[in-house]
Amino acid sequence: MLSYFALITLVKLSGLLIPFIWYLVVSTRRWRLWGITAVIVLFIVSYVNTYFNLPDLAYPSLIDGWLMWFIGGLIFVAVLRRFVFTHGVVNEGAPSSKDSWLTKLLRQFGITAGWLTKMIGAGVAALVVFFIVGSISSVITQMNPQPSVSSIKTDINNTTDTAPMPVIKDNAEKPVVNAPQTVSTDMNNSLNSFKNSNVYDLNSMRVQMYKGKMVYVAPVAFTGGFWRYLHYQKVPGYFMTNATDKNADPQFVSKPMRYTPSAYFNRDADRRISAHSLGYTMVGNTSQLEVDNNGTPYYVRTLAKPLSYFNRNYDYRHYKVAVLNTVTGKVKVYSPNNVPKFVDVAVSPDLVAKEITMFGKYRHGFWNATSFGGHSDVMKPTEAGTEGGSKLTPYAYKGRIYYFSGMTSINNHQSSVLGYTFVDARTNVMHYYKEHGNVMTPERAISYSQQDINPQDYKGTQPLLYRIAGKPTWVVSMLDRDNNSFMKFVYLKADGNNQSGTYAVGDDANSTLALFEQRTGIKSTAATPKVTGKTISGTVERVVKPDDKQILFILKGDSHVYRMDTTSKSFQPIFQFIQAGDKVSFRATATTKTQLATANVGLDTFRNGSLGK
């Protein structure tokens, strides 16, 4: 890897080759020695900078560096040849009839232009040239976004009927409850799960699918600097948390990793990936961890490619995905169609955020988005997300991770959604669905949840759009402001404008769904589960009635929690008088996996001595 960075340094300094050869031809022996020494020192300094700072290795940046050294080198040698080297003798800069017009002009103002002054002037002129070239590139990049927008793999739909909105209709469909803030707090509280935990910290989290479930994965990282890294050499593993279970505890997975972003020298994950990124830009602040179905951790990073030297917008079709094995340090770079199956997020949320911003603003061209144009269909992403600069929120749909964002008007006075973008995080295909109804933005949904619906002053986060009974519904997670703990769900009809009967607040997904259906008068078409399992008999120990939809109870000597659905057709009015001491017999499916398992209950017999039966 050291030789690779030496090669990159030579590429960056190759612009000096022709000026240096010219320098060797025109200089004296003594000056040649100084020149060779200067080039060696320059190579060492540039090598150290390239190795440690990992500069952008996309071709436009490399060409910029080449031109800088080429033009600067030519000017430097030209000045030396004109004012220092004359047949091997140093020219003292005496006045001559062959002086340039600039020299004569400066002399009229009493300024004597020696060789050093002219060298500085030439350097300033070179900077002006670089500024002009950079300005041309900046203008072209800004005013010609169409090739970049055209490179986006898009699927545009005029209706939301086929949008990949998860459908909440029964107990099997769970909205994402754990926000990144909650998960991060819980993981930090669990850092004592392994030996010497005081010398480690958490790195950035990534959402992914693991064995069919949406999870958050966060690697452990070195803290305390270089000397602590030298002592331990590797991190012990990573944390994983279920994204849809509010009672989920972070699980520490012991998988020692030597190659991580918090390591140093050749074990730095970003440095190893940079060594395979020639011609591409590493997107994002750092590499992100993903695990395969065996739990083996890998670091993944998106490598983006600018369109050309002058148009530096990204080519969203021809990117690469670098995957680093954290144990062996081996890096493989894949094209979009060959990414390993376990990689759920092949495109960085930072790249997706740029992509949807470009699509919303420039899909009808540059001039349409300016004050001179008609602003036809000009949109911007909403900013209530958890990733990509608050523009994106990830969630799962049919086993895939999508980055979701609502698209709204650039007019800040409007607060309705014009459409939705769903970007497949694995393939980078952007699906756009136009909204024809009156749907509030996620920012507005959070505002309603925090100001009008939420008397406890919780903070709303991670608004996601789900479909309930065919209607788009915002689901907002409410967190405690002090410790980021999940507190409540808020379900809001997307077109409800916070009117009475258009929202529901609850402690869990099921009870909130039931209350939402009751208040809005809609049904999720959920079928009443058929009661199966063995016959269970016993004496009631405790009874709890959390709402008018269910009755919970436990039996003496049985730690399971049993549930009666009061909305079921088989529920009889007499059942609601169940109390401690009653003897009951019913059929239910109970589990032995957890002491807090809840089963749906249908009573076959009901023996209650206090009722005289």
In order, the DSSP letters of 503-545 are EEEESSHHHHHHHHHHHHT----PPPPPP-SEEEEEEEEEEEE
pTM for the full predicted model: 0.78
Average pLDDT value for the chain: 83
Listed by start position, the domains of the chain span 1-87+100-143, 151-173+347-440, 174-346, 441-526, 535-608
| pLDDT of 255 | 93
Task: Enter the tokens of residue 9.
Answer: 């340094």
Contacts by 6-14 with C-beta closer than 8 Å and gap 24+? Answer: 6/47, 8/50, 8/57, 8/278, 9/43, 9/46, 9/47, 9/50, 10/43, 11/62, 11/66, 12/46, 12/50, 12/62, 12/65, 12/66, 12/69, 13/42, 13/43, 13/46, 13/65, 13/69, 14/66, 14/69
Q: How far apart are CA 52 and CA 250, in angstroms?
A: 34
Closest CA to 245 of 290, 206, 213, 218: 213
Task: Say how many CA atoms lie within 13 Å of 547 toward its Cβ.
Answer: 15
| pLDDT of 180 | 84
Question: Is the torsion defined by CA of 495, 501, 504, 509 positive or negative?
Answer: negative
| pLDDT of 53 | 92
**DSSP character string of 196-240:** TGGGEEE---EEEEETTEEEEEEEEEE-S-HHHHHHH-SEEEEEE
Residues across the chain: 613
Q: How far apart are CA 422 and CA 557, in angstroms?
A: 50
| pLDDT of 172 | 52
Q: How far apart are CA 238 and CA 255, in angstroms?
A: 7
Q: How far apart are CA 556 and CA 324, in angstroms?
A: 54
Q: How far apart are CA 526 and CA 509, in angstroms?
A: 14
Q: With a cut of 70, list the residues of the chain below it in pLDDT.
A: 86-123, 169-174, 177, 455, 497-498, 500, 522-534, 567-570, 589-613
| pLDDT of 579 | 85
Q: Where are the beta strands (DSSP E) in 178-336?
A: 200-202, 206-210, 213-222, 235-242, 251-257, 281-282, 288-291, 297-306, 314-325, 331-334
β-strand pairing of 598-607 with 558-565:
parallel
| pLDDT of 185 | 86
β-strand pairing of 281-282 with 297-306:
antiparallel
pLDDT in tens, 189-207: 888 888 888 888 887 888 9
Burial class (CB in 10 A: 0-12, 13-18, 19+), 612: exposed
Q: How far apart are CA 382 and CA 421, in angstroms?
A: 10
Domain 535-608 has what CATH class? mainly beta
